[in-house]
Structure 1
Amino acid sequence: MAASPPAPTTGSPLVVPPGLVPTAEAHLVQTPLLHLYVYLLDKLLTGTLVLTTKTGARAAVSFDEGTPTRVMDLAGTRYAERTPLERAMIKLCEVEAETRYAFYAGQDLLAERGTEVPRVEPLAVIMAGARAFVGAPQAEATLRRVDDVPMGIANGATPERFRLTPEERALVERLRKQRTTLADLVKTSGVPPRIVRGVVYGMTITRHLDFGGSTRPPVGLERAAAARTAMTSDPYGWRPTSGTTGPQYVDQTGTRPRDEVIRAADPTGPLQTVKREGTGPLQAIKREGTGPLQAVKRASDLTGPMPPDKPAPPNNEKRRAEIEAKLASVPNEDHFQMLGVPRDATSSDVRNAYFKLALVYHPDKLPKDLHDLKPRVARLFASINGAYAALKDDAGRAQYLASLSGAVLDEQAQIERAVNAALEFEKAEVFLRKNDLTSCEASVRRAVSADPEQPAYIALLAWVVASRRPLPPVPEEGKTNNVYDDCITQLDGVLKAEPDYEKALLYRGRLLKLAGRVHQAYRDFKRVTVVNPKNIEAAREVRLYEMRHPPEDDGPGSNPGRGLLGKLFNKKR
């Protein structure tokens, strides 16, 4: 008899082991929690996401290969049963944007012995969060960018995993039949605009919609493949516990290009590998000859020659290198480049190129010594499938060429770049704490390259570049140096956009002090103490400056009536 699901437990504090450094750390204002859920699923990451509000309250979600397994809400209640766990995850999407997150890769900080891990459908959680998120600035910014871009269902998409309502399913069926824009869908579908926008937003950030320019597969596709493999222990797949609220999975491969490849590459056909009832063990033995007296070839037949020794396993390092090279190039390729055909290719050219690639990159065709590549190759082959689906006929190629010439915005790519930039930035901050300035600079440069509008990234880059330079000699009293002028100029730009950005003020104050511009440094440190009275470094610098420079010696621009000569003149009056 199966164990009953664990009841929620309240009041258990979250304990982060001392010295445990997060893999990534930032504020949700940079990356909304819903986008983090998408990213963790897309990258199949395992670990714990810890949220800390401005008041110090903590919540956490544990993930196993992108799938949530346990949740602790802000009240300290822990959930390990599917339905309340999903509700708690959706509720967490409402926390304020100033909440700080930290991801601890490979660490399950909510682990409990003897508890069963629930079967949660992460895409259903993401869609529920998307419905609630409509109207938020980040969601509306995404929807505005795709408002007039024709869209359809992406190749390989599994929208049934979102647990859609009947109205939402009707929208999906319309998009299956004909590409249309969000604006047109809102006007003509007869479905309330908020529902339309919620579905489109959820399917956009998970790449289940095709806007004509993406070469990446839908988010969660690898997890679906893993689910099909796991169905050997549950031949009926994921089944709903009641109505449509439970986890569910429906195989929709049908006769997509993947099935064509299996049949073309394996003449016996996929069904030949299935064990049939009513056939004995001798059915698996290869027969020779014809007629009713066919001889069965036996390995123990001593009248014939001994079977040859089993050949040594082939060395597939060349094929591994080829696959790795393709994996590295795919993110920068359009559909034509991915298939290796020119832009004036015919349908026949596209089909031939596709089948050649399938023989190399179909995950089922990998030799045993390359099985470690299978998850990545599955994602690669899904991208190849998407390219083939877009280019296999004349109309599809014409539409895709038009999208390339019109530079259709790839919204999913923008989201991924922003999330990757945030993670690179947080890695840079970890390297900075470890005083690994070389790695810090490399990470923060990647962050700036991916998202150059973030003041935090530019400020950190200016500081780490300055930190890697040799310290200049201490300038003589009243003199300055220009060693850090370029970095100070970068920080000037950051503070022009965000005058009260604490770290930028602190960085600039340090550099101004090293450059001999002590009064300007004092002003920055003084401003930091206003922004954050608990900043110990800034308070110390202000105190030291005021001890060494009393009011009568406030530096250039100070009131002359308060200096030594002013006092003398006042005495004469």
Structure 2
Amino acid sequence: MAPEPIAHGSLEQTPFAHVIVSIAQRGMEGTLAVWGETSGQDRLYFRDGQVVRARLLQPSADLVRGLLPLFRRTTTYAFYREDLVGPGQLEGAIDYRALLVAGLRGGVPDDAAEGVFARFAGQPLRLARGVDLAAYGFIAREQAFLDAFRAMPSTVAAAIGGAGHAKSATRVLYALAITRGLEVFEGSFERQSLTEMTQSGEGAPGRPSSAPGRSSAPQGTRSSAPATASTPATPSAGPPARSTATPATASATPATATAGPSTPATPSTPSTATPSTATPSAAPAAPRPRPATPQPTRTSGDATPPAQNRQISSRIPRETDRYPAPRASLPPEAQERWQQVITKARTLDEQTYFQMLGVSHSANAESIRDAYFAQVKKWHPDRLPPDLAELRPLADEIFQHLTSAHETLSDVDERGKYLKTVQGGGGTPKADRELQRILGAAMEFQKVEVLIRRKEWDRAEALARELLEIVPNEADYHAALGLILWSSEGGKTEAALRSLDEALMLFEGHERALMTKARIFDRQGNKAGAVRLFEKVAKLYPKNVDAQRQVRLAKMRGLDTGSHAALEDDKSKKSDTGIFGKLFGGKK
């Protein structure tokens, strides 16, 4: 007797992405059959909600690539308790989130995206507490968007509208939304960030400060003894009859605001064969301990913060040597291939997308596609010999760069935007990394400002010193450190003056550095030096009330305020040359 499905429906109404998420989040075990466009079935066997085997209509070298066409399928599907795949087929361990993101790179249907995003009704969102971002396998462009998004709660429309690549932003938000990776942000942004900073030194404003482990997935009922015969049972020849139940769609009613969107809808289930699906609430696991970092050598006054006080080392990338030397034990041909991979990765790092694919700025879509496939044929990670498994991360990186180049240059609008970036001197992975490093540091610097306002000098100093390790030539960071050192318990005046002088060497009209140095001079009894600096600030920054007041007091006391305050015309005139001014330009 042919097995009966416990759930079935239409992929036109419930996209394949939602089906696999629903199966995963319920920890179901059994076979998902997806009917082909004309005949036959693709069959996927799930264990604990994850795909572990498949029998596919189209041959494929690996499980992930074989499943990608199903994301565009609009036929019927059915889920069975039995194992209808059998042994000896494509096998692998795939996290459903990584599979989801890989599938969505082929495009997110507009109607599905609208249905999912409509749940949030224009409310500001942030990453849900405990979301395991590593499980999604985001590539560099997606991660860059995610880094910007998690720094500040934002609506879907604002996040996508402000992204450099709208398709990547839509894909990331859609994947997070249907996997409970987003939640509605409520309340004051500053209050939230301060609360999180009180709880931990980590985390960016507007997002959780720690990253708890994944919650255990709710477990659905599974077959206690699935069929594993060498010849799998065959389901009914045609698709199962449509259920009379209302089909599940992407526009299902959302959950409460604080819990984020509702779980992707369960496949429509006939009333005569509904499995029991207990879904106990699971508490998040405890946060995973951070790996210990060797403690650097410290010197008085200008020391690097000890490892246990580091707050941002894992969040802002540093330039490191990512290109290991080959093992001496490798045979000559393996060593040659090793060097080829290293050379390719190094070369791509400093190339634009046009250079990566070897095409002109005016190349047509066909030329771009042919160039991409020619490159992928040689550099796909699956072509890496087993001896070079250590280079898999680099091979993946090469493939991601080539794929990003193909996606961007194949889209006329995206190519136009990218060309402007190239003409502005950017557009290479190395340049993008540098921009992300500077932007990341700028966002972290806002925490330093919060800590200064709260007079938490030790934490502020540790964070400021870390930022200076990452971006050593930023006047804002030196000036902040000078203020912190002078204000902290014991008043490290000499170290403070060295930091302030460093800031003024980088930008001689730096307001905070001038004001802090003037106050130090005033405290030391160097009244004339203090007045000269206050007057300089008053002329450069007329709205600085404190400096104006100090100059008036000096005049009342009969101190000379005019002879020593000459300003260099253009060098020291008020201009925003701080971190944000460098990134976005000052006022014209």
Same fold, TM exceeding 0.5?
Answer: no
**TM-score tier (shorter):** 0.3 to 0.5
Query: Whose radius of gyration is greater, 1 or 2?
Result: 1
Greater share of helix: 1
TM-score by length of 1: 0.34
